Structure 1
Amino acid sequence: MNENAHQSFTELEVWKKTGLLKNEVYELVKTFPLEEKFRLTDQMIRSSRSINSNISEGHGRFTYKDQLHFCIQARGSLSETYNHLIDALDCRYINGEQLTYYKTKIDEVERLLNGYISFLRNNL
């Protein structure tokens, strides 16, 4: 059973950091051209939200194995979000400095997420 069962997912540092990233991505895509609303903008919002959603859903599962599965899904969504940011750079919706800024945020979230994944693996 999860030792963190008494703790809400909202108390997890990794969930808090992914929430900040999600919010920043949401603000960023508001600057994209309107024709991207149902393309890149939507994809970026969905992938960044998916990181938080998977962490919270995994936290609500009973076993470490289930929690691990959802955290690995979250890591995939984190990579997807970074890929979309690279697409935004390629389309010239953001510049290199902005991409570097978001990459730093993504790296921080990835470190926290990898730490949480290691914790879960060690408790299998």
Structure 2
Amino acid sequence: MSEKSKYIPLKELDIYILSRQLSAFAWGIYQRLDFQSRKIWGDQMISSMDSIGANIAEGYARFHFLERIRFYYISRASLSESVDHWIDLGFERKIVSNEEYKEIKIISKSLQIKLNHQIKIAYNAKDKNSSK
């Protein structure tokens, strides 16, 4: 199998697909907020949630392993900010429904595991290239 045939387009990458699912959930929540709730909670929630996929995309497009890993770490931090802080806060304030909360937690757990795996793959590829 050639190196070129191993390339997975961004839109088919599991971590990117999951990040977009989270963004879609977040957007649904954001759209129903009134102006005050958007200003106080929603703008920061949607910004951090959308940052997850944006950093995956940017990292995936980077050639150098350490740059790629750096963006995956930023994405993982944005995931934590989004779900562990903003979504939890929204749930406590009854902005996020119980069903939305559960689904977001399921998706985010899967994404966190897959992001950790993607980081490990990038480190292994870096180490493999370093030993040549």
Give the TM-score category using the shorter length. 0.7 to 0.9
AA aligned opposite 1:91 = R
Structure 2: which amino acid aligns with 1:93? I
- The percentage of counterpart residues that share the same residue type is 23
Unaligned runs of 5+ in 1: none
Which ranges of 4 or more aligned residues in structure 1 deviate by more than 4 Å?
A: 2-6
Partner of 1:22: 23
- TM-score under structure 2 normalisation? 0.82
- Root-mean-square deviation (CA, aligned residues, Å) is 2.1
The unaligned stretches of length 5 or more in structure 2 are 127-132
- Per-residue deviation at 1:101? 2.2
Instruction: Give aligned pairs, total.
Output: 123
- TM-score normalised to structure 1 length: 0.87
CA deviation after TM superposition for structure 1 residue 89, in Å: 1.5
Rg (Cα) greater in structure: 2
Retained in 1: the 8 A contact 2:25–2:100?
no
Aligned to 1:123: 125
Q: Mark the CA change 1:8 to 1:97 in structure 2 (over 3 Å): closer, same or farther.
A: closer
Which protein has the bigger helix share?
A: 2
Which residue in 1 is equivalent to 2:129? none
Do residues 105 (structure 1) and 107 (structure 2) align? yes
